[in-house]
Amino acid sequence: MDTKWFDSHKRAIEHEPHAAVEFCNRVFVYGTLKRGHGNHRLLRNSVFLGSGSTAQRFPLYVRGLPYLYPQPNSGEHVLGEVYQVDPQTMARLDKLEGHPRFYCRILIDIQGDPDYPPARAWAYFINSVMESSEPVAEYVGRMGQLS
């Protein structure tokens, strides 16, 4: 995996992992945080802004849980949901995702309505290489099974 893109983003946030919350209060969720899934409860006080997909292609692997790999221009335009979150919710999401050690939160472009330019939102990328199957475009998983 070419990690130059990921490593540059990771180095920038390792020193201050929560510093940019005021800059962008949107988060793109593609797995267990989506509506109908077990971890969605963490977004109960957040504003749903709409569905969308990653503007760049990224590999999304599912191995029990979904893992978005930081390898741009490979895989698919991943489908998900965008939420406006407050700093407390972002901190809870960071804790759930193990940011920055397990997943790493990185700003990416999300395409919603094709008539408008992409919007920036945080997305969580896996922080290590994992063996898996073929990438998918959307995590469907078992709705409501996680606690």
Angle at 147 between CA 25 and CA 64, to 5 degrees: 90
d(C-alpha 9, C-alpha 96), whole Å: 20
d(C-alpha 119, C-alpha 52), whole Å: 10
With beta carbons less than 8 A apart as the criterion, state whether 74 and 103 touch.
no
Which one of 97, 131, 134, 138 is the catalytic residue? 97
Active-site residue, 97 included: yes
d(C-alpha 38, C-alpha 15), whole Å: 31
Catalytic residues: 97
